[in-house]
Chain A
Amino acid sequence: MNAESAFHALYIGALVILAILMGIMVVRSVIGPRVTDRILSINMIGTMVVCSIAILTVLLDEGYLADVALIYVMISFVAVLILAITYIPEHPRRTEHYRLLEMKEDTPQDEEGGDEE
Protein backbone atom coordinates (compact mmCIF):
# COMPACT_ATOMS: atom_id res chain seq x y z
CA MET A 1 0.00 0.00 0.00
CA ASN A 2 1.58 3.25 -1.10
CA ALA A 3 0.75 6.76 -0.03
CA GLU A 4 -1.42 7.47 -3.08
CA SER A 5 -3.95 4.77 -2.27
CA ALA A 6 -3.89 5.82 1.38
CA PHE A 7 -4.82 9.38 0.37
CA HIS A 8 -7.54 7.99 -1.88
CA ALA A 9 -9.03 5.89 0.91
CA LEU A 10 -8.91 8.84 3.32
CA TYR A 11 -10.74 11.15 0.92
CA ILE A 12 -13.37 8.54 0.09
CA GLY A 13 -13.97 7.88 3.79
CA ALA A 14 -14.34 11.60 4.49
CA LEU A 15 -16.84 11.91 1.64
CA VAL A 16 -18.88 9.01 3.00
CA ILE A 17 -18.98 10.50 6.51
CA LEU A 18 -19.98 13.91 5.11
CA ALA A 19 -22.77 12.26 3.10
CA ILE A 20 -24.12 10.57 6.24
CA LEU A 21 -24.05 13.88 8.13
CA MET A 22 -25.84 15.60 5.25
CA GLY A 23 -28.57 12.94 5.40
CA ILE A 24 -29.01 13.59 9.12
CA MET A 25 -29.33 17.32 8.45
CA VAL A 26 -31.93 16.71 5.74
CA VAL A 27 -34.01 14.79 8.29
CA ARG A 28 -33.54 17.64 10.76
CA SER A 29 -34.69 20.17 8.20
CA VAL A 30 -37.82 18.13 7.51
CA ILE A 31 -38.83 17.75 11.17
CA GLY A 32 -37.62 21.18 12.30
CA PRO A 33 -40.52 22.82 14.09
CA ARG A 34 -39.94 26.35 12.84
CA VAL A 35 -38.68 28.01 9.71
CA THR A 36 -35.41 29.00 11.36
CA ASP A 37 -34.51 25.38 12.07
CA ARG A 38 -34.91 24.61 8.39
CA ILE A 39 -32.80 27.58 7.29
CA LEU A 40 -30.09 26.56 9.76
CA SER A 41 -30.10 22.95 8.57
CA ILE A 42 -29.86 23.99 4.93
CA ASN A 43 -27.01 26.34 5.81
CA MET A 44 -25.10 23.50 7.46
CA ILE A 45 -25.76 21.26 4.47
CA GLY A 46 -24.26 24.04 2.34
CA THR A 47 -21.11 24.08 4.46
CA MET A 48 -20.74 20.31 4.14
CA VAL A 49 -21.31 20.46 0.39
CA VAL A 50 -18.52 23.02 0.14
CA CYS A 51 -16.27 20.60 2.04
CA SER A 52 -17.25 17.77 -0.30
CA ILE A 53 -16.50 19.88 -3.37
CA ALA A 54 -13.11 20.81 -1.92
CA ILE A 55 -12.32 17.13 -1.28
CA LEU A 56 -13.35 16.31 -4.84
CA THR A 57 -11.07 19.09 -6.08
CA VAL A 58 -8.09 17.36 -4.55
CA LEU A 59 -9.29 13.81 -5.24
CA LEU A 60 -9.97 14.31 -8.94
CA ASP A 61 -7.17 16.88 -9.33
CA GLU A 62 -9.46 19.33 -11.09
CA GLY A 63 -8.64 22.91 -10.17
CA TYR A 64 -11.82 24.51 -11.43
CA LEU A 65 -13.94 22.77 -8.79
CA ALA A 66 -12.47 25.18 -6.22
CA ASP A 67 -14.14 28.01 -8.17
CA VAL A 68 -17.40 26.08 -8.01
CA ALA A 69 -17.02 25.87 -4.23
CA LEU A 70 -16.42 29.64 -4.01
CA ILE A 71 -19.59 30.33 -5.98
CA TYR A 72 -21.47 27.85 -3.79
CA VAL A 73 -20.46 29.69 -0.61
CA MET A 74 -21.63 33.00 -2.02
CA ILE A 75 -24.95 31.59 -3.22
CA SER A 76 -25.74 29.89 0.09
CA PHE A 77 -25.02 33.18 1.87
CA VAL A 78 -27.29 35.09 -0.50
CA ALA A 79 -30.04 32.51 0.13
CA VAL A 80 -29.97 33.18 3.87
CA LEU A 81 -29.84 36.94 3.23
CA ILE A 82 -32.85 36.92 0.93
CA LEU A 83 -34.83 34.72 3.33
CA ALA A 84 -34.01 37.12 6.17
CA ILE A 85 -35.12 40.23 4.33
CA THR A 86 -38.21 38.36 3.19
CA TYR A 87 -39.25 37.28 6.66
CA ILE A 88 -38.29 40.21 8.83
CA PRO A 89 -39.56 43.60 7.57
CA GLU A 90 -43.34 43.57 7.54
CA HIS A 91 -43.91 41.10 10.32
CA PRO A 92 -46.58 42.02 12.92
CA ARG A 93 -44.17 41.65 15.81
CA ARG A 94 -41.85 44.24 14.28
CA THR A 95 -44.65 46.70 13.57
CA GLU A 96 -45.83 46.19 17.14
CA HIS A 97 -42.30 46.96 18.26
CA TYR A 98 -42.35 50.32 16.48
CA ARG A 99 -45.86 51.09 17.74
CA LEU A 100 -44.70 50.43 21.30
CA LEU A 101 -41.66 52.63 20.76
CA GLU A 102 -43.89 55.54 19.74
CA MET A 103 -46.26 54.80 22.62
CA LYS A 104 -43.37 54.78 25.08
CA GLU A 105 -42.29 58.24 23.97
CA ASP A 106 -45.80 59.52 24.56
CA THR A 107 -46.62 57.70 27.79
CA PRO A 108 -44.92 59.76 30.57
CA GLN A 109 -47.20 62.80 30.32
CA ASP A 110 -50.27 60.60 30.04
CA GLU A 111 -49.30 58.49 33.02
CA GLU A 112 -48.57 61.47 35.23
CA GLY A 113 -51.81 63.12 34.20
CA GLY A 114 -53.70 59.95 35.04
CA ASP A 115 -52.13 59.77 38.47
CA GLU A 116 -53.00 63.36 39.27
CA GLU A 117 -56.58 62.86 38.34
Chain B
Amino acid sequence: MIAWIRFIITAVLMIGALGCFVSAVAGVWRFGFVLNRVHAAGIGDSLGILLMMAALAVGNGLNMTSLKLLLLVVLLWLTSPVSSHLMSQIEYYTNPELYEHVTRDEPLHPAQTRNTEKNKKQGPSGRSHGARKRKRR
Protein backbone atom coordinates (compact mmCIF):
# COMPACT_ATOMS: atom_id res chain seq x y z
CA MET B 1 0.00 0.00 0.00
CA ILE B 2 2.78 2.42 0.93
CA ALA B 3 4.55 1.47 -2.29
CA TRP B 4 1.46 2.43 -4.27
CA ILE B 5 1.17 5.77 -2.51
CA ARG B 6 4.82 6.42 -3.33
CA PHE B 7 4.16 5.43 -6.92
CA ILE B 8 1.25 7.84 -7.21
CA ILE B 9 3.31 10.75 -5.81
CA THR B 10 6.18 9.88 -8.14
CA ALA B 11 3.88 9.64 -11.14
CA VAL B 12 2.21 12.99 -10.46
CA LEU B 13 5.53 14.78 -10.00
CA MET B 14 7.07 13.15 -13.05
CA ILE B 15 4.09 13.94 -15.27
CA GLY B 16 4.36 17.55 -14.11
CA ALA B 17 8.08 17.58 -14.97
CA LEU B 18 7.44 16.13 -18.40
CA GLY B 19 4.70 18.73 -18.94
CA CYS B 20 7.23 21.44 -18.10
CA PHE B 21 9.70 20.00 -20.58
CA VAL B 22 7.05 19.69 -23.28
CA SER B 23 5.97 23.31 -22.79
CA ALA B 24 9.61 24.47 -22.84
CA VAL B 25 10.28 22.60 -26.07
CA ALA B 26 7.05 23.93 -27.60
CA GLY B 27 8.08 27.45 -26.64
CA VAL B 28 11.56 27.07 -28.09
CA TRP B 29 10.05 25.63 -31.23
CA ARG B 30 7.29 28.19 -31.74
CA PHE B 31 8.81 31.51 -30.70
CA GLY B 32 10.48 33.54 -33.39
CA PHE B 33 13.26 35.34 -31.60
CA VAL B 34 16.07 34.19 -29.38
CA LEU B 35 15.25 36.21 -26.29
CA ASN B 36 11.71 34.78 -26.26
CA ARG B 37 13.25 31.35 -26.63
CA VAL B 38 15.53 31.96 -23.67
CA HIS B 39 12.43 32.80 -21.67
CA ALA B 40 10.72 29.59 -22.73
CA ALA B 41 13.79 27.46 -22.03
CA GLY B 42 13.94 28.75 -18.47
CA ILE B 43 10.82 26.75 -17.60
CA GLY B 44 12.47 23.43 -18.27
CA ASP B 45 15.70 24.45 -16.61
CA SER B 46 14.12 25.45 -13.32
CA LEU B 47 10.71 23.91 -12.64
CA GLY B 48 11.12 20.88 -14.87
CA ILE B 49 14.34 19.71 -13.26
CA LEU B 50 13.01 20.43 -9.76
CA LEU B 51 9.89 18.30 -10.30
CA MET B 52 11.86 15.54 -11.99
CA MET B 53 14.42 15.29 -9.21
CA ALA B 54 11.70 15.45 -6.56
CA ALA B 55 9.89 12.59 -8.31
CA LEU B 56 13.06 10.51 -8.45
CA ALA B 57 13.90 11.25 -4.82
CA VAL B 58 10.44 10.12 -3.75
CA GLY B 59 10.67 7.03 -5.93
CA ASN B 60 14.14 6.13 -4.72
CA GLY B 61 13.61 6.61 -1.02
CA LEU B 62 15.81 8.50 1.38
CA ASN B 63 19.46 7.70 0.80
CA MET B 64 22.66 9.21 -0.53
CA THR B 65 21.62 8.99 -4.17
CA SER B 66 18.53 11.11 -3.53
CA LEU B 67 20.74 13.68 -1.83
CA LYS B 68 22.96 13.78 -4.91
CA LEU B 69 19.93 14.27 -7.12
CA LEU B 70 18.83 17.24 -5.01
CA LEU B 71 22.38 18.62 -5.20
CA LEU B 72 21.94 18.41 -8.97
CA VAL B 73 18.93 20.73 -8.66
CA VAL B 74 20.98 23.26 -6.68
CA LEU B 75 23.78 23.15 -9.22
CA LEU B 76 21.44 23.57 -12.17
CA TRP B 77 19.65 26.44 -10.48
CA LEU B 78 22.97 28.19 -10.03
CA THR B 79 24.24 27.67 -13.57
CA SER B 80 21.09 28.02 -15.66
CA PRO B 81 20.48 31.79 -15.09
CA VAL B 82 24.12 32.49 -15.86
CA SER B 83 23.81 30.53 -19.09
CA SER B 84 20.67 32.45 -20.07
CA HIS B 85 22.39 35.74 -19.31
CA LEU B 86 25.42 34.82 -21.41
CA MET B 87 23.23 33.73 -24.30
CA SER B 88 21.32 37.00 -24.19
CA GLN B 89 24.62 38.86 -24.12
CA ILE B 90 25.88 36.98 -27.18
CA GLU B 91 22.66 37.87 -28.96
CA TYR B 92 22.93 41.51 -27.91
CA TYR B 93 26.47 41.96 -29.10
CA THR B 94 26.39 39.98 -32.32
CA ASN B 95 22.95 40.55 -33.84
CA PRO B 96 22.99 43.43 -36.32
CA GLU B 97 19.17 43.42 -36.64
CA LEU B 98 18.45 43.42 -32.92
CA TYR B 99 16.32 46.56 -32.97
CA GLU B 100 13.86 45.03 -35.39
CA HIS B 101 12.78 42.83 -32.47
CA VAL B 102 13.59 44.97 -29.44
CA THR B 103 12.32 48.50 -28.90
CA ARG B 104 12.94 50.90 -26.06
CA ASP B 105 11.78 54.45 -25.64
CA GLU B 106 14.84 55.64 -23.77
CA PRO B 107 18.12 54.68 -25.38
CA LEU B 108 20.06 52.59 -22.92
CA HIS B 109 23.06 52.17 -25.04
CA PRO B 110 25.24 54.55 -27.06
CA ALA B 111 24.88 52.34 -30.11
CA GLN B 112 21.20 53.21 -30.12
CA THR B 113 21.91 56.94 -30.35
CA ARG B 114 23.69 56.55 -33.65
CA ASN B 115 20.90 58.26 -35.58
CA THR B 116 20.40 60.84 -32.88
CA GLU B 117 23.75 62.40 -33.70
CA LYS B 118 22.59 62.99 -37.27
CA ASN B 119 19.27 64.45 -36.12
CA LYS B 120 20.99 66.84 -33.76
CA LYS B 121 22.91 68.32 -36.64
CA GLN B 122 19.78 68.74 -38.75
CA GLY B 123 17.84 70.59 -36.10
CA PRO B 124 17.63 70.86 -32.35
CA SER B 125 13.88 70.34 -32.09
CA GLY B 126 13.01 66.83 -33.28
CA ARG B 127 15.68 64.98 -31.37
CA SER B 128 13.94 62.44 -29.22
CA HIS B 129 11.15 61.99 -31.70
CA GLY B 130 13.61 61.29 -34.45
CA ALA B 131 15.54 58.95 -32.24
CA ARG B 132 12.40 57.03 -31.55
CA LYS B 133 11.31 56.95 -35.12
CA ARG B 134 14.59 56.08 -36.75
CA LYS B 135 15.90 53.65 -34.19
CA ARG B 136 17.06 51.05 -36.63
CA ARG B 137 19.40 51.85 -39.39
Are A84 and B87 neighbours in the complex by a CB distance under 8 Å? yes
Q: Cα distance A20–B120 when bound, in Å?
A: 55
Are B76 and A100 neighbours in the complex by a CB distance under 8 Å? no
Residues on B facing A (Cβ under 8 Å): 3-4, 6-7, 10-11, 14, 17-18, 21-22, 24-25, 28-29, 34, 37-38, 41, 44-45, 48-49, 52-53, 56, 59-60, 64-65, 68-69, 71-72, 75-76, 79-80, 82-83, 86-87, 89-91, 93-96, 109-111, 113-114, 117, 120-121, 124
Residues on A facing B (Cβ under 8 Å): 2-4, 6-7, 10-11, 14, 17-18, 21, 24-25, 28, 34-37, 39-41, 43-44, 47-48, 50-51, 54-55, 57-58, 63, 66-67, 69-70, 73-74, 77, 80-81, 83-84, 87-88, 91, 93-94, 96-97, 100-101, 103-104, 107, 111, 114-115
| Cβ 8 A contact of B110, one of A3, A84, A101 | A101
Offer 8 A-B interface pairs, CB within 8 angstroms, sorted by A.
A10-B14, A40-B87, A44-B45, A51-B21, A54-B52, A57-B69, A69-B72, A83-B86
Q: Which residue of A lies closest to B60 (CB)?
A: A58
Residues of A within 8 A of B117 (CB): 107
Q: Which residue of A lies closest to B24 (CB)?
A: A44
Are B48 and A47 neighbours in the complex by a CB distance under 8 Å? yes
Are A74 and B75 neighbours in the complex by a CB distance under 8 Å? yes
Q: Cα distance A3–B11 when bound, in Å?
A: 12
Are B56 and A58 neighbours in the complex by a CB distance under 8 Å? yes
Main secondary structure of the interface of A (DSSP, over half): helix
Residues of A within 8 A of B34 (CB): 34, 36-37, 40
| Cβ 8 A contact of B86, one of A10, A73, A84 | A84
Which among A37, A81, A83 has the highest number of chain B CB atoms within 10 Å? A37
Q: Which residue of B lies closest to A105 (CB)?
A: B110
Are A88 and B69 neighbours in the complex by a CB distance under 8 Å? no
Residues of B within 8 A of A87 (CB): 90, 93-94
How far is the CB of A1 from the nearest CB of chain B, in Å?
A: 10
